[in-house]
Structure 1
Amino acid sequence: MPSSPGGFEVPLWRSIAVFRFASLAYVCVLVVRDADRYAHPVAAGVVLLVMLAWSGVTAVRYARPANRGWPLLLADLGVVLAILAATPWVVGRQALAAGVPTLAVAWLAGPVLAWAVSGGRRRGAVAALLLGGADLASRGRIGPSSLTGVILLLLAGVVVGHVARLAVTAEERLQRAVELEAATRERERLARGIHDSVLQVLALVQRRGAHLDGEAGELARLAGEQEAALRALISGGDPAPPAATAGDTLDLRALLGRHASAAVQVSAPATPVPLPATTARELAAAVAAALDNVDRHADGRAWVLVEDEGETVTVSVRDAGPGIPDGRLAEAVRQGRLGMAQSIRGRITDLGGEVRVLSAPREGTEIELVVSRFRAGGRGTAR
């Protein structure tokens, strides 16, 4: 389990440093109390100085994350093992058999805690078993109290290791949450600016050029694709695929959703509306042409409704403009204005679909585009 340079692990390492000095103070009290029973009391004082110096070294070294690797961990374990190995000579076998504590006492738990924090439960358990076995080997006799000490040491390694792992996991999750919140705020900030500028321009280019041929029509198509991709990016979703083969399907909602703006309201089912790629694109182009008519002849406000009826899909484009007078569509054809005749009726007719135009003076216009999900071509009716 890798250590992080800050966060929840820092208090654990500081606690280990405090534990070393607090347990060393307890060792000093025991040494002063039992010094007259030691075989070599002067050597006991030297051992105390070594323990004090090593406590200071570990407190400084473990404070730096770069030092919490195997060299320091093994050295920490080795120092305590050396003190346990020297205990029978310093204290004396007779004193140990009489119940005098070993020199390390609780101080030997320092490496166990360090291994547990740096590597989790398993590493803490390994260090506890090594030091517990060495502690038992240094005693003149093994009793219930010594076995209890080893069990407590093992439990400390397991529990502290588990807590350390939970702390690191919590820190990682918190970091991801902070990064996600920052990214979301930045996306929202960008979305506000982009929606008020870039998206509106791209949507206008797409609608104005959808019925044109040549490079102008291609430019309008690319503008529509980039608007959809950009809108999906700033909203956190996946952009609709810009291209598909004839055998693929596209979600009609994604193609029509790019027209949504302050003036155009798009209502679609909550579930995907899949159509053959050609059908979906042609239907979306017809809707774009209808919206272009709304922009030119009405006030630009329109409502687009998508209805998935199983075998057929109906898209309604409604506005609140002045309506279409009787005979106006036929007159537009004679004048060479082919927006309704070609861009809308022509596309839907080629798909084998149907176009219904419902209009009345001063009551707006509603255009219903009906296509079959299973017929991608052929001639249909148009009313």
Structure 2
Amino acid sequence: MTQGTRRPRAVRMSVELPLWRALTGYRILTLAYALGLFFLNYHRYAHPPGAALYMGVLTLWMLLTWNRVTAPERCTRPFLIADLAIALCGVLLSAVVDTPARIAGGAATLPSIWTGGAVLGLAIKGGWRWAAAGSTLVAAANLVERGALARDTVHNVLLVWVSSVAIGYIVEVARASERTLARALQIEAATRERERLARDIHDSVLQVLAMVQRRGAALGGEAAELGRMAGEQEIALRTLVAGGLLPPRRSAEQLAEDAELVRSVHLAPQPPAGPCDLRALLTPHEGAGVSLAAPGTPVLLEAAAAAELAAAVGAALDNVAQHAGEGARAWILLEDEPAEVIVTVRDDGPGIAEGRLADAEREGRMGVALSIRGRLRDLGGSADVVSVPGQGTEVELRVPRGSGVGQ
């Protein structure tokens, strides 16, 4: 693996965490509200000490368990059952400690709207089914406490039931979406890793096999048989890299045609750690048929990004050697811009016929798709191929400053 390569980091997400935090705040605020109602109506209760005893138990319960609903791992099923039981006891106890007149007038129960927090905890933890069960028990307790189907009681019961079930259903949908997104991120990471491996295979193994096939055919004899086997393995491996979309083709004519599309292996020099001068990585490409134009000052780029960019330039020059003909010339232009680095590879060959790149990708020839565009995409840059039949081909590679592999 190229030095400095960074793998995509796993992103830990949770759609539930904000809901648990909101529930914690709700429980604390509604306890304060219930205590305020209790103190304002203390002398109106039929049995004030009994009401005070329950409110003391409720306050102590909250002091001991306020942080149990801050995270799903701490909010266990036994805790939720106990929380709901305390709320139900408070609702039913209101019928004993309060006066019949206040109850008939629609006075709030001892836990008041704090009861909703117990039902919401069930909704967030277990979904709409738990919410439906909890809100049904709360509804039954309120009806028993009131002793009649009063309009305001039915209204409050339906409000709690519908809202808790809706929240529970939303939580279930959010969880399913979160799992789907996590799976999609895993697939994306696996796909990017596969493309990286495919680039390495294209730039090394496939080219070596093609060279063996071509040299074996030229030497004849036993070498020809070895070359034929190497050509078959090249096609099989190319099919695997392309995702199995291309069935193996084993005729001698097709193997020869495939081999002509691959140049002998080219290994890009490895850069040192830290920023390096891109000119040093592009200079080895310069030769009799390739000219390099670069700034007179160093063009610094992160080592990993520079290595990938140089490899993409090498892949573009491989395509020139394979398709432009023996007498074709190529020019490399390196531009050092404030926000990005631009490398242009141009040749005077016959150009690329319209639709040929798409056909090559479908056939498993991934040179442009992976070795060039795939590398630039991983760097956060772009690769544009402009070709006019009879007028040559131009490949423009753009890499933003500060980019690195895996960004």
CA distance in 1, matches of 2:160, 2:61: 20
- What corresponds to 1:217 in structure 2? 225
Give the direction of change, closer, same or farther, for the CA distance of 1:288–1:301 in structure 2 (3 Å limit). farther
Q: 2:183 aligns with which of 168, 176, 196?
A: 176
Aligned residues, how many? 260
* Cα contact 1:291–1:302 (8 A) shared by 2: no
Once structures 1 and 2 are overlaid, which stretch shifts more, 163-172 or 151-160? 163-172
Q: 1:90 aligns with which of 85, 97, 107?
A: 97
The superposition leaves residues 175-219 of structure 1 with CA deviations (integer Å, 9 ceiling, x where unpaired) of: 223223322333333333322112211233345457978797378
- What corresponds to 1:103 in structure 2? 110
- What corresponds to 2:171 in structure 1? 164
TM-score (norm 2): 0.55
- What corresponds to 1:308 in structure 2? none
Question: Secondary structure of the equivalent of 1:66?
Answer: coil
> Is residue 2:122 matched to residue 1:115?
yes
- What corresponds to 1:376 in structure 2? none
* Cα contact 2:210–2:262 (8 A) shared by 1: no
CA RMSD of aligned residues (A): 3.5
Give the superposition deviation at 1:108. Answer: 0.8
* Cα contact 1:28–1:48 (8 A) shared by 2: yes
- What corresponds to 2:158 in structure 1? 151
- What corresponds to 1:260 in structure 2? none
> Is residue 2:36 matched to residue 1:29?
yes
TM-score (norm 1): 0.58
- What corresponds to 2:192 in structure 1? 185
CA distance in 1, matches of 2:180, 2:87: 36
CA distance in 2, matches of 1:49, 1:228: 79
Give the direction of change, closer, same or farther, for the CA distance of 1:135–1:232 in structure 2 (3 Å limit). farther
The superposition leaves residues 321-356 of structure 1 with CA deviations (integer Å, 9 ceiling, x where unpaired) of: 79xxxxxxxxxxxxxxxxxxxxxxxxxxxxxxxxxx
Corresponding letter in the other structure for 1:78: A
- What corresponds to 2:27 in structure 1? 20
* Cα contact 2:207–2:262 (8 A) shared by 1: no
Q: 1:238 aligns with which of 224, 237, 244?
A: 244
Q: Higher relative CO (CA 8 A, sep ≥ 6), structure 1 or 2?
A: 2
Question: Secondary structure of the equivalent of 1:67?
Answer: coil
Q: Which stretches in structure 2 are left out of the alignment for 5+ residues? A: 1-11, 264-318, 328-407
CA distance in 1, matches of 2:92, 2:208: 81
CA distance in 2, matches of 1:70, 1:132: 21
CA distance in 2, matches of 1:118, 1:22: 21
Give the direction of change, closer, same or farther, for the CA distance of 1:30–1:225 in structure 2 (3 Å limit). farther
- What corresponds to 1:77 in structure 2? 84
Give the superposition deviation at 1:228. Answer: 4.4
**Structure 2 counterparts to residues 186-205 of structure 1, below 5 A:** 186-205=193-212
Corresponding letter in the other structure for 1:286: E
CA distance in 1, matches of 2:63, 2:241: 53
- What corresponds to 2:15 in structure 1? 8
Corresponding letter in the other structure for 1:143: A
Give the direction of change, closer, same or farther, for the CA distance of 1:122–1:33 in structure 2 (3 Å limit). same
Q: 1:62 aligns with which of 51, 60, 69?
A: 69
CA distance in 1, matches of 2:241, 2:32: 61
* Cα contact 1:228–1:254 (8 A) shared by 2: no
Corresponding letter in the other structure for 1:194: I
The superposition leaves residues 204-258 of structure 1 with CA deviations (integer Å, 9 ceiling, x where unpaired) of: 334545797879737853x4555445445544x236xxxxxxxxxxxxx543xxx
Give percent identity, aligned residues only: 38
* Cα contact 1:121–1:159 (8 A) shared by 2: yes
Give the superposition deviation at 1:122. Answer: 2.4
CA distance in 2, matches of 1:136, 1:50: 23
The superposition leaves residues 273-305 of structure 1 with CA deviations (integer Å, 9 ceiling, x where unpaired) of: xxxxxxx53x2x332246668999xx99667xx
Corresponding letter in the other structure for 2:244: D
Q: 2:45 aligns with which of 4, 28, 38?
A: 38
Give the direction of change, closer, same or farther, for the CA distance of 1:73–1:229 in structure 2 (3 Å limit). farther
The superposition leaves residues 29-49 of structure 1 with CA deviations (integer Å, 9 ceiling, x where unpaired) of: 211221111122123223223
Q: Which stretches in structure 1 are left out of the alignment for 5+ residues? A: 240-252, 256-279, 304-318, 323-383
Give the superposition deviation at 1:61. Answer: 2.0
* Cα contact 2:213–2:224 (8 A) shared by 1: no
- What corresponds to 1:327 in structure 2? none
Give the direction of change, closer, same or farther, for the CA distance of 1:214–1:163 in structure 2 (3 Å limit). same
Give the superposition deviation at 1:97. Answer: 2.7
CA distance in 1, matches of 2:261, 2:143: 91
**Structure 2 counterparts to residues 276-291 of structure 1, below 5 A:** 280-281=249-250, 283=251, 285-289=252-256
* Cα contact 1:13–1:62 (8 A) shared by 2: yes
Give the superposition deviation at 1:58. Answer: 4.3
**Structure 2 counterparts to residues 327-366 of structure 1, below 5 A:** none
> Is residue 2:16 matched to residue 1:49?
no
Once structures 1 and 2 are overlaid, which stretch shifts more, 124-133 or 163-172? 163-172
